[in-house]
C-alpha cells in the first residue's frame, strides 16, 4: 500500500483523526445536531430496502478485480468487501477524502462521470437494515484499521446544551481493534451486524437472489473488465459473475447526445446517454436498471438499462402520465425519451435468431407480458409506423 496517495500512514494517524473529529462534533450547537440527525433519518428511510445494491454500488466504484458479498442469516451479518482503492483519509487532487465523505452528510469523494452513485448518501442505507456498521480498510503500512458507526449515535459523556443526546452516526466514529477475517486481496470491508428485522432479512435475501440470477452485463461500462463479483450465502453454493462474460441471449443498444437542458435539470454529468436492452436467459423478472436494478417492472421479458433520472431512493424512474396534460416529473421528459429508445431495441431484438428461436419468445413478445404502459405504447407505435398506420 506504500506510495498510494491519501492513505493514513498507520493506525495511530487514524486514531488521531477520529479523536479530532469527535472533539469537533461534541461542540456543535443543538441546531446543527438536530439538522444532521433529521437529514440522516430521512436518507435512511428513503434508501431502506436497498442496502445490498447500495453497498455493491460503492464497491463497484473502487474494485479492480474482485468484490465479495457475503450474507449469513444465522449470524445476522452482511459483508461487502473489495480489492480496489483503500479508504483515503487525506484529500487527493482537490477531492475530499473518503473518510470526510463518510463522516459528513450529502458529501462524496466521487464524480458523476466515473461512478454509478456520487451523492454521498447511499452508504447510509445500511442503517435501514441495522443500527450498527463497521467500516474497515488498510493503512499505508498494510495493517487493517476500522471504525464503528451507530444510528442514532451518542457520546459517552452528555453534551451540554443539547436537548436530546441522539446524534447522526457520523458524529461518533469509534476506533476498532479486532481484525477482520478476509483474504489478503481485499482492502476495504463494510460489515453490517445484528440484522434482526424479518422484512430486512427478506429484502437482503431477495437482493442476493436477484444478483445471483444476473445478468450483470450493464456494469461493463462502469467497472473493470474481468471483474469478479462473488455472492456468498451461508449454506449455499457461491455464485461468481465475471463482468465481461456473456450470459444472455442478445443485446441491443442506442446512444444519444446528452441534452444541455436535461443536464441542468437533473445534475447528471454525461456527454452521451446510453440505453441497453438485454434478452436474458431468464425472462421472468423484467426490470428497469440504472447499472443496478430498480424496483420498477419493465416488460416483454427483457432487462432495460438507461441513464435514467431516478427517484432519490434509486428505486424508481419517474414518467409523466400517458393521459392528460400533467407536467412531466422527469426533467424535459428525459425518461420517456430513453423508454422510446428501449422500445427500438426491443423490436430489434425480436428480429434476431437468438431471441426468435428461444422457447419463451411467444410468451413474452406480446402486450400481455408488459406491465409498463409507456413501454407498451412505444413498442406498439413502432409497429404502427412500420405498417404505415
Given a cut of 70, whether residue 335 has pLDDT beyond it is yes
What's the CATH code of the domain at 129? 3.30.565.10
Question: Which domain-ending residue is among 242, 264, 281?
Answer: 242
- Predicted confidence (pLDDT) at residue 214 exceeds the cutoff of 70: yes
SS3 332: helix
Q: Is residue 219, in this structure, part of any structural domain at all?
A: yes
Residue 4 lies in a domain: no
Rounded CA separation 363/382 (Å)? 20
- Domain boundary (242, 258, 275) is at 242
Q: Residue 207 has what pLDDT? A: 92
Query: pLDDT tens across 2-61, in order?
Result: 557 899 999 999 999 999 999 999 999 999 999 999 999 988 877 667 899 989 988 998
pTM: 0.84
Are 233 and 364 within one domain? no
| Statement to judge: residues 214 and 262 lie in one domain | no
- Band the pLDDT of 116: cuts 50, 70, 90: very low
**Is the CB of residue 50 less than 8 Å from the CB of residue 313?**
yes
Domain with 317, as residue range(s), is 248-386
Segment 287-292 shows an average pLDDT of 92
- Within 10 angstroms of residue 24's Cβ, the number of other Cβ atoms is 10
Query: From the CB of residue 384, how many other CB atoms can be counted at a distance below 10 Å?
Result: 9
Single residue among 218, 242, 266 that ends a domain in this structure: 242
pLDDT, residue 269, reads 81
Cell reading at 145? 484499521
One domain for residues 204 and 314 = no
- Exposure string of 210-238, with b = 16+ CB inside 10 Å and e = fewer, is bbbbbbbbbbeeebbeebbbebbbeeeee
Alpha-carbon distance 344 to 358, whole Å?
A: 20
- Clarify whether residues 158 and 262 are in a common domain: no
Give the count of domains, the chain.
2
Amino acid at each position: 500500500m506504500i506510495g498510494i496517495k491519501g492513505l493514513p500512514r498507520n493506525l495511530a494517524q487514524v486514531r488521531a483523526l477520529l479523536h479530532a473529529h469527535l472533539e469537533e462534533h461534541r461542540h456543535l450547537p443543538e441546531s446543527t445536531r438536530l439538522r444532521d440527525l433529521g437529514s440522516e433519518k430521512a436518507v435512511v428511510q428513503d434508501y431502506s430496502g436497498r442496502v445490498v445494491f447500495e453497498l455493491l454500488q460503492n464497491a463497484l466504484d473502487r474494485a479492480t478485480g474482485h468484490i465479495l458479498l457475503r450474507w449469513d442469516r444465522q449470524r445476522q451479518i452482511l459483508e461487502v468487501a473489495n480489492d480496489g482503492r483503500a479508504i483515503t483519509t487525506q484529500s487527493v487532487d482537490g477531492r475530499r477524502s473518503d473518510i470526510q465523505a463518510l463522516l459528513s452528510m450529502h458529501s462524496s469523494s466521487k464524480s458523476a462521470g466515473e461512478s454509478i452513485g456520487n451523492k454521498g448518501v447511499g452508504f447510509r442505507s445500511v442503517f435501514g437494515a441495522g443500527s450498527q456498521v463497521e467500516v474497515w480498510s488498510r493503512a499505508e503500512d498494510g495493517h487493517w484499521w476500522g471504525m464503528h458507526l451507530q444510528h442514532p449515535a451518542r457520546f459517552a459523556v452528555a453534551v451540554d446544551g443539547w436537548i436530546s443526546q441522539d446524534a447522526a452516526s457520523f458524529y461518533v466514529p469509534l476506533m476498532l481493534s479486532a481484525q477482520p477475517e478476509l483474504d489478503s486481496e481485499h482492502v476495504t470491508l463494510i460489515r453490517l451486524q445484528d440484522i434482526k428485522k424479518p422484512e430486512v432479512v427478506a429484502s437482503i435475501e431477495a437482493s442476493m437472489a436477484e444478483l445471483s440470477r444476473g445478468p450483470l452485463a450493464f456494469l461493463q461500462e462502469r467497472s473493470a473488465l474481468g471483474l469478479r463479483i462473488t455472492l456468498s450465502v451461508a449454506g449455499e453454493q457461491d455464485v461468481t459473475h465475471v463482468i465481461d462474460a456473456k450470459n444472455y441471449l442478445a443485446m441491443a443498444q442506442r446512444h444519444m447526445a446528452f441534452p444541455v437542458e436535461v443536464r441542468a435539470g437533473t445534475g447528471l454529468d454525461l456527454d452521451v446517454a446510453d440505453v441497453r436492452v438485454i434478452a436474458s436467459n431468464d425472462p421472468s423478472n423484467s426490470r428497469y436498471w440504472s447499472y443496478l436494478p430498480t424496483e420498477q417492472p419493465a416488460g416483454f421479458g427483457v432487462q432495460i438499462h438507461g441513464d435514467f433520472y431516478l427517484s432519490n431512493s434509486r428505486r424508481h424512474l419517474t414518467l409523466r402520465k400517458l393521459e392528460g396534460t400533467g407536467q412531466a416529473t422527469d426533467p424535459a421528459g428525459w425518461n420517456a425519451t430513453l423508454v422510446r429508445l428501449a422500445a427500438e431495441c426491443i423490436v430489434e431484438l425480436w428480429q434476431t435468431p437468438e431471441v426468435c428461436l428461444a422457447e419463451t419468445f411467444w410468451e413474452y413478445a406480446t402486450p400481455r407480458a408488459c406491465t409498463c404502459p409507456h413501454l407498451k405504447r412505444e413498442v406498439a407505435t413502432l409497429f404502427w409506423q412500420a405498417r404505415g398506420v
